[in-house]
Structure formats: C-alpha cells, structure tokens
Amino acid sequence: MEDTINELKAYKLETFPVEEIKASIFKFGKVPVAVTDYDAGKIIHRARPIKKGINLTEDHELSFTPEEYNTKYQRASTPEQTMFYGAVVPEIEGEGEITSERIIGASEVSDFLRNPESEDGEEIIVFGKWLVKEKITLLSIINPEVQNNKIKFFQDMTKDYHTFLNSIGEKKKDAIAFQEYMSSEFSKSEILGEHDYLITAKFTENLIEKCDGVIYPSVRADYNGLCVAIKPESAKTKLELIEVLECSLIKKDKSIKLTNLRHTDKVEDGKFKLIELKE
C-alpha cells in the first residue's frame, strides 16, 4: 500500500500521466472501506448556474453533464466518465453545521459565495430537488483521524470504521493509509488546473464498477457539507426530480442577497414549467 501511494504522489500531474495513474490505482486491490447507503426517500439537491434569460424545462438539464459537453477532469469525473454531482445534508447533524443542501450546492458552483474578493454582480442558480427512489451505495471518503472530519456524521462513521478495522488484523494499517491518502486528495482546495483532479477522478471511474458513486466533504463549503457524485446509470434509474427552484444571487459591497424567482413542484415525465413567485 505504501509503495503504491508513494508511486501516485511521485507523478507530475501537469503532464497528465493518465495511464500510469490508472495502473497504480489498480494496484490498491481490495481495501476495507466505509460506505454510506441512502434508502428511498433521501433528498439530494443539485445546483446549476445559468445565464439570465435561459429557461429550463426538462429534468436532464439539472442532471449530469451530457457526454458531448463533458470534456474536463473534475473531482470525481473524467472526460470519459460523466457523473451526477449533488449535495446532501448529513443524517446526524453536528452543532453549527450547514443544514441546507441548497447552501452547500450553491457554494460548490458560485464564486460569489466562496470568494470574498469576487466582483459585485448577479448570478442565476437553479436548484433541482431529487428524490432517491431505490437504495444507492456510496463509498465514503473519510479522514481516518476522527477529529479531522468536521462533520459529526463522518466523525461517527470513522469511529465505527476503526472498530471494524480492529477486527481485521494486518489489513488495518493498509486501510488507514488508503483512507488517509484518498481523503487528502479529495479535500484539495488549491486547484491550479484540472490535472489536480486526475487521481480522484480516475479512482472514482474505477470505483463505480462496484457501487453507485462516492460521498465526500464539500471543499467549497469549507468541509461543512457533503457532496455526492453518482454514476449516470444510477442517477437515471434511482433518482427522480420532484421540485425545481430558480434563484437570483446578487452581490453588492461584499453582501449577498438570495431571492427566489420561479418554482415548481410539478414534474411530469421529466418535464416541468417554472412559475414566477410573487413577492
């Protein structure tokens, strides 16, 4: 395990050593990991910024990026493997944690919210509320050091994970090393280019052959929220859009104002019509 991790750390990511990374990840083999299961009824929110005047009318416009437009490496997707990104609220809430999926989602997609130095202006964000129809299983990217997980849900999961690891003997060391390394990769905040996502993206691409996706702390929400990345096949069959909200995000003199513009909770056969909200 240590040799494989050092191998990955040694790659010059700016040269895009994609095949080499893929080969190294394959060497991990079977590692005891923590998973999160979401049963039917769980809510996932997806945020999408749009240009003013654009009118969304179908569920696929608030789902994963179509293959023809999926051209970059992101935290959990590659140009060859698009993913459904969303935000969730933990089942166990800790004191002071974010309790709105929309805030987490907006933080992920809006430079206004996460960058105090961004210029004044307006941005339109559309939120899709998705209902889990059938259980989804996500690999949990947790830091093996309990106190290094800001979210209580992940802290409790890490404690349970260690209890399990104590029963597997010599594999414990490798499992901890794996989670420590992978959580550090998923939690990267300083991104110089899409090459910085190579390892997590290729890891997720390999992983989804065995489960529906991954769940990890939201970097853009200062690790106080949770993000999910779900493979398209699972998003199509296990998720259903049930509500849509369009908002205006205005920044002036470093103050943010979020105004609800249009909304609908009527989605039929994947189609919807947003209705203007009265003040």
Read out DSSP for 192-247?
A: SSGGGGHHHHHHHHHHTTTSSEEEEE-TTTTTSSEEEEE-HHHHHHHEEEEEEEEE
Cβ neighbors of 163 (< 8 A, separation 6 or more) are: none
Question: Which range, of 118-127, 208-217, 220-229, averages the lowest pLDDT?
Answer: 220-229
Residues 156-169 have pLDDT tens digits of 999 999 999 988 88
pLDDT at 114 over 90: no
> What pLDDT score does 131 carry?
98
One-letter amino acid identity for 171? K
Question: Do the Cβ atoms of 40 and 133 come closer than 8 Å?
Answer: yes
pLDDT at 100 over 90: no
* Average pLDDT estimate for 240-246: 97
CA-to-CA distance for 178 and 143, rounded, in angstroms? 10
DSSP state of 168: S
pLDDT at 218 over 90: no
* Average pLDDT estimate for 230-249: 96
Residue 96 pLDDT level (bands cut at 50, 70, 90): low
What tokens does 273 get? Answer: 């019509």
Percent of the chain with pLDDT over 70: 97
Strand order in the sheet with 43-50: 35-38, 136-140, 213-217, 226-230, 84-88, 43-50, 121-132, 239-252, 255-264, 275-276
CA-to-CA distance for 2 and 8, rounded, in angstroms? 10
CA-to-CA distance for 102 and 246, rounded, in angstroms? 11
pLDDT at 98 over 70: no
Mean pLDDT for the chain overall: 91
Measured over the CA atoms of residue 187, residue 232, residue 154 and residue 114, the dihedral's sign is positive
Question: Do the Cβ atoms of 140 and 258 come closer than 8 Å?
Answer: no
Residue 99 pLDDT level (bands cut at 50, 70, 90): low
Residues 256-273 have pLDDT tens digits of 888 899 999 999 999 999
Residues 170-182 have pLDDT tens digits of 888 999 999 999 9
CA-to-CA distance for 163 and 168, rounded, in angstroms? 10
pLDDT at 215 over 90: yes
Residues 18-37 have pLDDT tens digits of 999 999 999 998 888 999 99
CA-to-CA distance for 87 and 127, rounded, in angstroms? 10
From the list 54, 45, 44, the residue with the least C-alpha distance to 248 is 54
Cβ neighbors of 196 (< 8 A, separation 6 or more) are: 13, 188, 190
Residue 272 φ/ψ, nearest 5 degrees: -150, 165
Predicted structure pTM score: 0.92
Beta strands in the chain (DSSP E): 35-38, 43-50, 84-88, 121-132, 136-140, 213-217, 226-230, 239-252, 255-264, 275-276
